[in-house]
Amino acid sequence: MLLKYQFSFIAVLLLLSSGTYAEPYRIALFHEPGMPAPAITPEPDFWENMVAGLPGFQMERRGLKDLNNPTRFSRDHFDLLLIPTGASFPAAAADALISFLHKGGDLLTSGGYAFDALVIENQGAWKTQTDFLENAASIARNPEHSAVPGGDFESPVSCWISHNPAYADITTEVSYTGAACAYALSSLDGGTGSWECVLGCQPGNHYLIGAHLKTDALLGRGYAYLAVYQYDREGAILDFTDFAQVGKASDWMRHEAAVTIHPQTDRTVFQAGLHHIQGTMWFDSVTCAAIPEEIRINAHYGKPGDGLVVRKEQLQIFSPDRRFTSSADAYAFYAQTESGRNSEPPPALHGFEATAQLSGNGHISPLATFATPEEYLPCPGTLVFNHQGFFKDSHWALFGVDNLNFPALAPDAYREALLRLRAGVTISELRTAYVSYQPGESGSLSASVRNTSKEKRVLRVSLAVDDLFCAALTDRPEQEVALAPGEVVTTSWAFTLPESDSLPALCSIVLRVYEGTLLCDERTTGFVVNRLNRLPAACRNAPESCRFGTDLWSSVFLSPSHSPVSWSEDLKLMKQSGLTVAEMLQLCPADYEYTEEHWRFFDGFIQLCADQRLTYMAGLLIGKNVCIDNDTLKKQQALCRSFAERYKNVPDLIYYLNGDFRLDLADTEDIRALWNQFLATRYADAASLNEAWKSEGFPAPGAVPVQEYAAQGWYDLHARDLNEFKALLMNRWIQALIVAIREEDPHHPITSEYYQHPFSGIDLRNSLGGQYASNFGYFDRPNLDRARFAATARMYDMRREGKALHVGEFGVKTHDAWAEERGGTHYHIRRSEEEQLRFFWDIVHHAWALGFSQIQNWCWRDDPDRIFPWGVVWANPSRPKPVLSLWSRLAGMNRMITVQHEPADIVFVLSDGWRSGAPESFSLEVMLNALDCLLAANIPFDVVSENALTTLQDNLPKAIIFPAAYALSDETLSLMQGYAIRGAAVLLSGDPGINPQGQRNQERYRQFLGSTFLAETGDAKGLPVPRIKTETATLCLTEGTVTLYAIPCGAGAIYWSPLLWESAVSADLFGKDRHLTADPRQNLYLPFLKMLGFSSPLPVSNTSGIWRTSLVPSGENRLISLFPVTGENTPGTVSVAYDGLQFQFEYTYAAPSALLLNPENKILALSGCGSLSVNGIPVVQSKGMWLIYSDEMLPLEACSRVHAFSDREAVFFPGDNRSLNCMQFEQ
């Protein structure tokens, strides 16, 4: 929200003269001589002089001992605690402070991020809590102080329990200290080892628990873990902490966690093992020792997850990712200073923006407002009013400038804060009965005003409404109310909208409460005028460019910090930023019936989206379980049908069935019936079922219970049956909802968002059905997220099958609380702001090269009520983050690029059958490895599912690549052989002699593979490798351990590697072994495609690292893309040649680049990193990332106006009369 209220010196004088005061407002000024504090901290007499000039106030100094003395400091003695020492505050006073605020005491902090550098006093000497705790931790790490018996594994100790000793034992082959350590391993045969040890921890105490961990090359999407679990007497989990999650090869490293033992904990257990990953882990030097608990007053840190879990006592004020720099002359107060009046150069303000997360319990009111209200600027001061919750009636003034004496520079802002805190008058609620109305409809507005002071207040409540709506009010806009101490009064206004088409879509309402001339509080709300029935008809043409979008969720409807006014401001900013899709994870009522209030929410938000010409993406059943009974499914169908009935005529609408799918198997009547019907199509009796499942005791189909089961080997029929049944459940649920929507709306697209990899049977390729797009969310560990994106995207690429390609959400957090040393894990790990920018840059450039039709970030704004910093916009107050500036500029260039798919001459086939029966994480890693190896060839290719091979009949590619060709049906093998006979080169790896029942069919070797089966061997991962005698097959390639045979078939051939070399047994292809994908001795696809005559359309040469290229159509134009694979942080040069042009980049660090050329090879748009020359002529000089384009859609050399952006200083067209300097966007 843009802040328009300005505070003036004249207003201050008026404020000082308003009101009478029976009792003084008592201020305790914190002052502790000798305590470390910022040099900018004003002396106590500054505050005393300020307060002396304000009637009705009194101030006394209080030090640390006073704060902890109830006779010297308490809520009975004082109304406000003023802390001028910035981040510095004694940890020993935390309890007294929280007690004071909990009982309704007020707070004013000044000088920076309050309570962020707690200090501890010991015998007159002060040290930071950080240093104190680190010293305690260093002692606790010493094994001599450890309470873990046998934590060095040098001698057997009975408290260490190995689960599955064949896979978890003690070894002397490896150790961190001494001669021995513990290990655990997990293999494809289903065997997994783990360890546990009960620790002697006492409830209520705090401990540092740690160990050293080492891993070999791990295969899969899980991790090796070290964890601490707390159980109560009944064995229920009270709390747990995974303090190590390692997903790749790593040398010995210490991992640890500070853990507070729950008061009801009966057993505290150390655990170690492997989760959804194959490989070996070793751990040693396990220690556990008591340490002092970290005292946290603010909410800088907590327990990091999707959001940050903090205690209710923690003050959710300021934020480490909201540090700012701004010029003082941007603020209204500066013009009133002597420097401002004398036009002296304004000082720079540095510090932390004054903000708070409100838990739905209050609102903020910014201080020190802007001289230019049209700009989004950092807020150096704000008031926080708490209406309910743990800090009910405690109000706070926060000032975050930490580089200069801000109270002396802006004293009026502090006086305003003190006057308003003393008044204690707040608007605790302001809302209309509904958020949207139709013309001619009547409605009402209500406001609750609270008096939290100790005195009676006589108040003037003033309502301001947009001019065009004034006539609609049927009550006077101004009212006078008298409130006794602690009293709440609710006032209301009625209105009737005229039957008019001239009303704007949004009515903004501002309520102000005055005591005399003092403005005590101000809040804004509004309502939407619903004219959805008057919207123009939908345009059915598919968008030419990739659509950029963002995600919101139901807090937009429910949080008191939101209103139709904030909706409108958000949507306007989205539009200005180049976004075109607003996804909403809507409310979903428990009974699946929308109420009138729900409908009004949707009406209003959709109307505002339509006004901004944004596509509304309606999240209908987000996070719902698809394994449900028939009656519940019918209710969900009815919900979808009712939504489609109401909004089918909205021009820009996408039905979004589900994201965060759940597939929670339940052995209910309806699901068991479906399961047994499914099994009956495969097994005639109990004997055949038990034989296939390698089990005993299952009944015949008809009475088999529904229960989870994971693959116990490289291919498991029980797992395949279950996963294919789960695909049936997914299709049942999705198709039922599609049918319900299509009964009302035959046109608007329908989609769901899937996880970035198949998960527990939730498999995009096997359940997409009638949805229009292959849509997945994307999150991963740092560095892996950028490394794996292209392969993950190609795994879900179904454009050859007629489906669009979407990223439904992607994003990272930059908040300190998610640092790995603070407990951040997996994709919940903090990135730097630079890493965030590079991640967005990478995703967009890959989206252009890979033909995405839609990409959306998670999410639009941070949550105003909790610490959930996923957004591209900060909240409380709203302000764009730097990443939105980049996102916006990329969206601008995106308009130049047309999404187009041309069928490729190479098709990659993604296994369906074997994947369904293989360990999920292993099969995924094989597919990603294979796709990344094919991407390394820099040759266009398409991807189809095994189940969609028939779609190639009418447009046969030249080459078909099918890795992991296990468990193929006879029909699939015959189809592949038929394609070879027609002229295709078909490449298979693995053992096609094994059929879907897991049995080897020796006839297949003769019929399809030109050989005779002799015996079976196994690779290092336990996969079967057939040893054969060749007949018609001939040896055509040998690279390392990989042997490739050619089997002539008509006009083409089948090529076969009996070894599944794509499993990359000992390699980390997305980490330290990334370079192997460019090595033809390791990547069979490179020599194979060269043998067939394929070559990259974009020859590339470089001095550092490995680069990949892409050439794709963009309407009549062509898009050239370059991507660094290794050596990103090493300076170098890279050049690519295309049709007589030579593009050369010289860089200090590498990032993706894109060049859009028209049919005459004229440059239409450019993006890149470093300096660029074309045929030796300099075009850009920079050391950062940059882009340049024009809305004129002409070659840049012919444009009269261009858009240029760089994250560092850049010069475009140097030495040319069109030379353009571009400063980094922060400036």
| CATH number of the domain to which 218 belongs | 2.60.120.260
Express each pLDDT in 1073-1109 by its tens digit: 999 999 999 999 999 999 999 999 999 999 999 999 9
Residues 548, 580 contacting (CB under 8 angstroms):
yes
> Is residue 13 packed enough to be buried (19+ CB in 10 Å), middle (13-18) or exposed (0-12)?
exposed
The Cα–Cα gap between 770 and 772 comes to 6
Q: Is 136 helix (H, G, I), strand (E, B) or coil?
A: helix
Residues 279, 184 contacting (CB under 8 angstroms):
no
C-alpha radius of gyration, the chain, whole number: 33
Residue 513 corresponds to which tokens in the numbers above?
Answer: 């409460």
Beta bridge pairs of residue 516? none
Does some domain include residue 1187?
yes
Q: Which of 617, 645, 650, 618 is nearest to 539 (CA)?
A: 650
199 and 145 both lie in a single domain:
yes
H/E run at residue 1003: helix 1002-1009
Report the pLDDT value the prediction gives residue 1218, as an integer from 0 to 100. Answer: 56
| Phi, psi for 918 (deg, rounded to 5) | -95, 160
Residues 755, 777 contacting (CB under 8 angstroms):
yes
Residue 256 corresponds to which tokens in the numbers above?
Answer: 């640890």
Q: Is 857 helix (H, G, I), strand (E, B) or coil?
A: strand
Beta bridge pairs of residue 26? 58
| Residue 456 neighbours by CB distance under 10 Å | 12
Q: Is 455 helix (H, G, I), strand (E, B) or coil?
A: coil
Residue 915 corresponds to which tokens in the numbers above?
Answer: 């994947």
Bond prior to 1124 in cis (omega within 30° of 0): no
The Cα–Cα gap between 626 and 729 comes to 7
Does some domain include residue 340?
yes
358 and 476 both lie in a single domain:
no
Report the pLDDT value the prediction gives residue 581, as an integer from 0 to 100. Answer: 98
Report the pLDDT value the prediction gives residue 1038, as an integer from 0 to 100. Answer: 85
| Residue 922 neighbours by CB distance under 10 Å | 26
Does some domain include residue 889?
no
Q: At 494, which CATH number? A: 2.60.40.10
Report the pLDDT value the prediction gives residue 220, as an integer from 0 to 100. Answer: 77
Q: What is the full DSSP assignment across 359-382?
A: TTSEEEEEES-BSSTTS----SEE
Residue count (the chain): 1227
Q: Kindly give the pairing relationship between strand 442-451 and strand 488-496.
A: antiparallel
Does some domain include residue 3?
no
The Cα–Cα gap between 34 and 1168 comes to 53
Amino acid at 163: H
Q: Which of 994, 770, 896 is nearest to 1202 (CA)?
A: 896
Q: Among the three residues 383, 399, 423, which one is the final residue of a domain in this structure?
A: 423
Report the pLDDT value the prediction gives residue 455, as an integer from 0 to 100. Answer: 94
Owner of token pair 């459940």: 729
Alpha helices in 460-595, H assignment, sequence order = 555-558, 564-576
The Cα–Cα gap between 779 and 1019 comes to 32
Q: Kindly give the pairing relationship between strand 381-386 and strand 362-367.
A: antiparallel
Residue 26 corresponds to which tokens in the numbers above?
Answer: 């008592």
Residue 360 corresponds to which tokens in the numbers above?
Answer: 């739905």
Beta bridge pairs of residue 584? 552, 618
Distances from the Cα of 1087 to the Cα of 490, 605, 1042, angstroms? 78, 55, 12
53 and 143 both lie in a single domain:
no
Distances from the Cα of 763 to the Cα of 730, 754, 768, 916, angstroms? 9, 8, 8, 9
1146 and 1176 both lie in a single domain:
yes
| Residue 533 neighbours by CB distance under 10 Å | 8
Residue 750 corresponds to which tokens in the numbers above?
Answer: 């329908």
> Structural domain tally of the chain?
6
Buried b (16+ CB within 10 A) or exposed e, 1184-1210: bbbbbbbeeeebbeebeebebbbbbeb
Residue 105 corresponds to which tokens in the numbers above?
Answer: 């005491």
838 and 758 both lie in a single domain:
yes
Does some domain include residue 102?
yes
Residue 685 corresponds to which tokens in the numbers above?
Answer: 């009796």
The Cα–Cα gap between 195 and 522 comes to 59
Q: Is 1182 helix (H, G, I), strand (E, B) or coil?
A: strand
Residues 831, 813 contacting (CB under 8 angstroms):
yes
Q: Is 286 helix (H, G, I), strand (E, B) or coil?
A: strand
pLDDT averaged over 10-residue windows placed end to end, the chain, 1227 residues: 36 46 91 92 95 95 97 97 98 98 98 97 92 94 91 87 94 94 88 93 95 90 93 94 90 95 96 92 96 96 95 97 89 71 81 96 86 76 97 98 94 95 98 96 96 96 90 85 96 93 92 96 97 81 85 96 97 97 96 97 98 97 97 98 98 96 97 98 96 94 95 94 98 98 97 95 95 97 95 98 96 96 92 96 98 97 97 95 96 95 98 95 93 98 97 97 98 97 98 96 96 91 91 90 94 97 82 93 96 96 95 96 95 96 96 97 96 94 94 89 90 69 39
395 and 452 both lie in a single domain:
no
Does some domain include residue 71?
yes
The Cα–Cα gap between 790 and 1169 comes to 20
Q: Which of 812, 868, 879 is nearest to 842 (CA)?
A: 812
Residues 316, 322 contacting (CB under 8 angstroms):
no
CA triple 780-1096-1150, angle to 5 deg:
45
Residues 1069, 1126 contacting (CB under 8 angstroms):
no
Residues 843, 836 contacting (CB under 8 angstroms):
no
Beta bridge pairs of residue 362? 386
| Phi, psi for 656 (deg, rounded to 5) | -115, 100
822 and 930 both lie in a single domain:
no
> Is residue 610 packed enough to be buried (19+ CB in 10 Å), middle (13-18) or exposed (0-12)?
buried
281 and 196 both lie in a single domain:
yes
Q: At 1008, which CATH number? A: 3.40.50.880
| Phi, psi for 416 (deg, rounded to 5) | -60, -45
Q: Which of 1196, 1139, 1148 is nearest to 1168 (CA)?
A: 1148
Q: Among the three residues 472, 494, 529, which one is the final residue of a domain in this structure?
A: 529
The Cα–Cα gap between 572 and 376 comes to 13
Q: Is 956 helix (H, G, I), strand (E, B) or coil?
A: coil
Q: Which of 1168, 1145, 1164 is nearest to 1156 (CA)?
A: 1164
H/E run at residue 514: strand 506-515
Domain housing 805: 547-665+727-882
Report the pLDDT value the prediction gives residue 544, as an integer from 0 to 100. Answer: 86
Amino acid at 155: S
Q: Which of 1017, 904, 899 is nearest to 957 (CA)?
A: 904
Report the pLDDT value the prediction gives residue 1216, as an integer from 0 to 100. Answer: 62
Does some domain include residue 629?
yes
Does some domain include residue 712?
no
The Cα–Cα gap between 324 and 692 comes to 64
Q: Is 988 helix (H, G, I), strand (E, B) or coil?
A: strand
Residues 554, 586 contacting (CB under 8 angstroms):
yes
757 and 878 both lie in a single domain:
yes
Q: Among the three residues 368, 393, 423, which one is the final residue of a domain in this structure?
A: 423
498 and 553 both lie in a single domain:
no
Distances from the Cα of 924 to the Cα of 276, 715, 716, 758, 763, angstroms? 11, 13, 16, 8, 11
The Cα–Cα gap between 636 and 643 comes to 11
Q: Is 88 helix (H, G, I), strand (E, B) or coil?
A: strand
456 and 591 both lie in a single domain:
no
The Cα–Cα gap between 266 and 299 comes to 29
Report the pLDDT value the prediction gives residue 618, as an integer from 0 to 100. Answer: 98
791 and 854 both lie in a single domain:
yes
Q: At 611, which CATH number? A: 3.20.20.80
Q: At 61, which CATH number? A: 3.40.50
Q: Which of 503, 484, 486, 483 is nearest to 495 (CA)?
A: 503
Question: Dihedral (C-alpha) 61, 67, 69, 71: value to the nearest 10 degrees?
Answer: 50
Owner of token pair 């603070």: 822
Q: Cα 427 vs. chain centroid, distance in angstroms?
A: 34
Residue 404 corresponds to which tokens in the numbers above?
Answer: 């200069």
